[in-house]
Homo-oligomer: A and B are copies of this chain.
Amino acid sequence: MSEKNLLGRRNFIKGFGAAAGVALAAPAMAVSEKADGVKWDKEVEVMIIGSGFAGLAAAIESVRQGAKDVHMFEKMSYFGGNSAINGGLYAAPGTPMQKTEGVKDSVDRMVADQVKAGRGVADEALLRHVAEHAVEGLQLTLDAGSEYHPYLQQLGGHSVARTYQTTVSCGAGITQPLYKECKRLGVKAHNRSKFEGFLVGKNGEIEGVKMRQNYHFGEDQPGEVLNIRAKRGVIMATGGFGQNVDLRMAQDPTLTAEVGCTNAPGATGEGMYEMFRLGAIPVHLAHIQSGPWASPDEGGFGYVSNYTIFNFPHSMAVHRLTGKRFMNEIADRKTRADAELSCRDEKGEAMPPLLITSYKHSKKHPNTKKVLKYDVGWKFDSVEALAKHFDVPLKPLKEQIAEYNSYVKSGDDKQFGKNMTKAKGKYIEAPFTVVRLWPKVHYCQGGVQINVKAEVKDSFTGKSIPKLYAAGEVTGGVHGVSRLGSCSIPECIVMGMTAARSVMKA
């Protein structure tokens, strides 16, 4: 369990710093061109770029709205994008399961939770639009065949339990059914197809795009570029830029290549940058979210993330050097990530804190077996064994466990004000399961500004760029400073559907 390579907080860039994680071959001049005189190689009705939650929902909804010729382009060899490897968590207010479990919730309440996490600068109109259509979006996934655990979760920053999770505890539990539904509906899905810029008409409208065929991600010899016309318009669902080290370091020099990232490798942001070249407004690029549920002992999202998301409500996080709690285990993501990053020794070296859970409660989550099997989590029969293994001071740790258990009993966390509802009766008792925590780059709150029609605004004219729509992580401002967990999938699904409705109305 080496502490190496966790991160060098404030590992300063000199000049422009390190090269991008993925080299991007592109000319220096704006990539988009005027469509005037362009020879079109192909024509489609609705063009969708990206095949994650937003792209898939846009494709399905386009067909539902009457489109006959919908094309979805994906630069990677596989479909599903970064969505396919996310946690599969879907928050919605007023769901059937909330009724079953007796949870009182509303659009207002969900929006208020998100505005709070967004530190006052979230776009409330967009949050409300998504919350109002979240149940409808959930239904779209159910109709396509997605399956969810038969219980709700209350994730950090949410004031009530409102989160569904796929039975496979992964976004693929949504992207795969949606992809199948797309195929069933006749959507043409093209992989290895890389967006290379817009073709812009006389009035600034998006007439089509340049699309590289037979593209092999990260390789040097990509294929031919076709000019493809999009009769109704283009929906950009190209995702975030968490894997583009150079671009994320431009926003935060501490997010070096050594900092872990949960995203799929294709999350490199060139779709977003191309929209800026058109005149789209960059919003909140500086707000990059690190997931506080990640483990330094495995790559990417791994097994631990979903394990901890499930277990945080009835677990106790402690600082290794003190044996004491240091945060509300279900505070919003930014609050927790900042608290974890502050767990260091006197030299400033990272000391990943421990999440301690009673084995009898943790084992209810399917990932617990894998966490133990792959040595990214450990089981201890006594607090003494736990303390010895991690070199935690025993006496303070014992006292902390006793104190925490008193809050489980009283329902009142006097240390950090944690909502103890979901911890009821779940005392911290041997045997324990323990994982280590350290944040990883997870989500880009920033992107292009859109409105509730998924239209993209031009910075000069203040008007929407004709025939251009954007949905999902490529857009910015929706969540403000910090996105709440399980709020990305509803956003992607709802805004993808919204973009489809707009493109079919235009």
Q: A residues engaging B (CB < 8 A)?
A: 9-10, 12-16, 19-20, 24, 26-32, 34, 115, 120-125, 200, 203-205, 246-247, 250-254, 270, 273, 276-279, 281-287, 446, 449, 451-453, 457-463, 465-466, 477
- Asked whether, in the complex, the Cβ of A250 is within 8 Å of the Cβ of B286, the reply is no
Tell whether, in the assembled complex, residue B253 and residue A123 are in contact, meaning their CB atoms are under 8 Å apart: yes
A287 partner residues in chain B, CB cutoff 8 A: 286
8 residue pairs bridging A and B, Cβ less than 8 Å apart: A13-B125, A19-B462, A26-B461, A28-B205, A28-B460, A121-B254, A246-B462, A270-B460
In the complex, what residue of chain B is closest to A449 when comparing beta carbons?
B250
A247 is contacted by which of B20, B252, B277, B281 (Cβ under 8 Å)? B281
Is there an interface contact between A12 and B286, defined as CB atoms closer than 8 Å? Answer: no
Task: Report B-chain residues with C-beta under 8 Å of the C-beta of A459.
Answer: 247, 273, 276
**How many copies, total?**
2
Interface centre among A27, A122, A453 (most CB of B within 10 A): A27
Known contacts A277-B279, A278-B277: A28-B253 contact under CB 8 Å: no
Residues of B within 8 A of A19 (CB): 462
Q: Are A29 and B204 in contact (CB under 8 A)?
A: yes
Listed from nearest, the 5 A-B pairs whose CB atoms lie closest are A28-B204, A26-B460, A282-B282, A29-B204, A273-B459
Report which of B15, B27, B254, B278 forms a contact with A460, defined as CB distance below 8 A: B27
Q: Known contacts A28-B466, A250-B283, A278-B30; is A12 also within 8 Å of B124 by CB?
A: yes
Q: Which of B29, B203, B251, B273 contacts A121 (CB 8 A)?
A: B251
Asked if B273 contacts A279 (CB within 8 A), the reply is yes
Q: Give Cα A174–Cα B385 distance, bound, in whole angstroms.
A: 68
